[in-house]
Chain A
Amino acid sequence: MNLESLDRRWVFLGVAVLTFGGLLLPFRLPQVPGETSISYYNALQNLPPGSLVMISADYSPSTRPELEPMHRLTIYHALKNGHRVINIALWDVGVNQTALAMGWALAQLASEGVHPRKDVDYLNLGFKAGGEVVMSQMGSSIPTTFRKDQEGRYIWENAEIPVVAGLHDMKDVDLLVTISAGSPGINQWLAQVQKRYNVATVAGVTAVMAPELYTFYHSRQLLGFLGGLVGAADYEKLLGMTERGDAVGLSILVPDFANRAMVAQSLIHYALVLVIIIVNVDFILRRRARGGRS
């Protein structure tokens, strides 16, 4: 049998079986957080209480399994540590993702007896069209960029909304977090805001975006980042979520979703490596049989 001409539907079937099997297996693998994930965690953990954390939802539901766990855990982490959280979105559906992540984080905090107050501890400024232009404008003035919040209220110089007190431009933000799946996203934040206004920045990104962030991480423009599902699993481990979720189930809403999904991802990776080795052995043997021609 020639492996090169194997019907690709067998590969699809193998991926499907391993994915579902991995998600249903009743155990987790030991997660050892990577350096960039620990740096992301430390950037939030080491902020003094009351710091202003701006979280930008720059993604859509297509990358939800990778990014939503990071997003909701970041909100949870910031509010639990007593920081002020300002949510924004530069992708139109980012507001919906913020609503989902915020809802999850508030429910999780409530189960722990922590009850952050809207307008005092957190606020949602909503979506603003314009991408890089919006980022650049926020560097000069946030009140002129976001005149109202997501609910249509004039929030600036409003005594009933103290969460934005002292917030004028990006220099007043203690930590910028972008949960990013493309453009506008982390690369634009780095170019338009981080370097120009010296804003401490971290990012949660998809696995395919992670390799290009190492260069910014090494130059300390990025204090830390979470890359893909493995980054989300690292963050869950660092926040102690792995001790809370049930072991079986497919729901994205369980606190240790990324850790459970790592079983499926591990199986797929290892199966792929095995298949690549077998196919190459077959390829080399055939080449030799043909006299060295590929």
Chain B
Amino acid sequence: MRKEIPILITLFIGVFMVLKFFFEPVDWVRISAEEIAKIAQVVVASSVVLGVANILRINFRAIVQRRRDWGYKLALLVTMFLLMGAGFWAHFYHHRVTSLVVGDLLFQDLYGNLLSPLQSTMFALLAFFIASAAFRAFRVRNLPAALLMFAAILIMLGRVPLGHWLSQALGLGALLPNVADWLMGVPNTAGQRAILIGVALGIIAVGLRVIFGIERPYLKGE
């Protein structure tokens, strides 16, 4: 029964969600699917609590045992509780945090001056790594590599305002931007479509395998 019950639940829910897609006007199908969706929302929301508990379990132990980088783990827990505390405090005592206009509350300050710059900084580092990777990766070793490199160069030249300016300065009209647009609109679209159709077929296959219990990732492969 340890295996059969989860498989039956998956089959029941999977079939209902598929039925809803095709038979939405039928009341009992729609209403049942809506109820299942509500349960799913509660499960997803509950996973946040599990996530916090897991972070606490792993990091607290590392801090107590003074493992490597325990200082960073302490910073993680302190900032997590600081933001959580500020959020709860603002929610229960100051409803302005939920208004549309940015208030001057602790939570918004922490968000704007701590979380936002840190996340932006991490993402901005990508620019440096992409530049370094492009510098090393784009080599004319063979024909496909050369095609990739020339396409990348044309896109980089044509997709920015300097491309328009340069194209006109050279008396080429809007050639560079037009070439970049063509590359994005035709070869890129064709490739993306092929990938999307393949991915969609793969998702259908995996979905059916999970619904019928052939694959059971939720049972750790049992």
Contacts and interface: CB of A to CB of B under 8 A. Distances in A.
Q: Do A and B bind each other?
A: yes
Nearest to A283: B139
B111 A96 contact: yes
B133 to A, nearest CB: 9
Given A98-B100, A144-B34, A280 B139 contact: yes
Contacts of B9: none
Given A11-B128, A133-B40, A230-B159, A215 B193 contact: yes
Interface string A159-171: 0000000000000
Contacts of B24: 140
Interface string A1-37: 0001010100110111001000000000111101100
A262 B94 CA distance: 40
Interface string B121-140: 01110011001101110111
Q: Does more than half of chain B's interface fall in helix, strand or loop, or is it mixed?
A: helix
Interface string B162-183: 1111000000001001000100
B102 A129 contact: no
A291 interface: no
A34 B50 CA distance: 45
B104 to A, nearest CB: 11
B3 interface: no
Contacts, number: 183
Interface residues of B, number: 64
B101 interface: yes
Contacts of B65: none
B57 interface: no
A8 B157 contact: no
Interface residues of A, number: 74
A24 B159 CA distance: 21
Q: Which residue, of B30, B34, B128, has the highest number of chain A Cβ atoms within 10 A?
A: B128
Interface in A133-175: 133-134, 136-137, 140-141, 144, 150-152
A272 B24 CA distance: 52
A276 interface: yes
A230 B160 contact: yes
A12 B111 contact: no
A38 to B, nearest CB: 12
A215 B128 contact: no
Contacts of B174: 32
A240 B24 CA distance: 44
Interface string A101-136: 011001000000000001000101010111101101
Given A126-B98, A269-B162, A35 B181 contact: yes
A251 interface: no
A215 B189 contact: yes
B164 A32 contact: yes
A21 B44 CA distance: 45
Interface in B151-207: 152-153, 156-157, 159-165, 174, 177, 181, 184-185, 188-189, 192-193, 196
A265 B131 CA distance: 12
A163 to B, nearest CB: 12
A272 B156 contact: yes
A272 B134 contact: yes
Contacts of A273: 153, 156-157
B41 A134 contact: yes
A115 to B, nearest CB: 13
Contact of B149 (A63, A141, A276): A276
Contacts of B30: 140
7 contacts: A29-B161, A62-B122, A64-B120, A93-B115, A96-B112, A268-B127, A270-B156
Interface of A: 4, 6, 8, 11-12, 14-16, 19, 29-32, 34-35, 60-65, 87, 93, 96, 98-100, 102-103, 106, 118, 122, 124, 126, 128-131, 133-134, 136-137, 140-141, 144, 150-152, 196, 210-212, 214-215, 218, 230, 233, 262, 265-270, 272-273, 275-277, 279-280, 283-284, 294
Closest 9 CB pairs of A and B: A29-B161, A266-B162, A61-B116, A62-B123, A62-B119, A266-B160, A130-B41, A269-B156, A61-B119
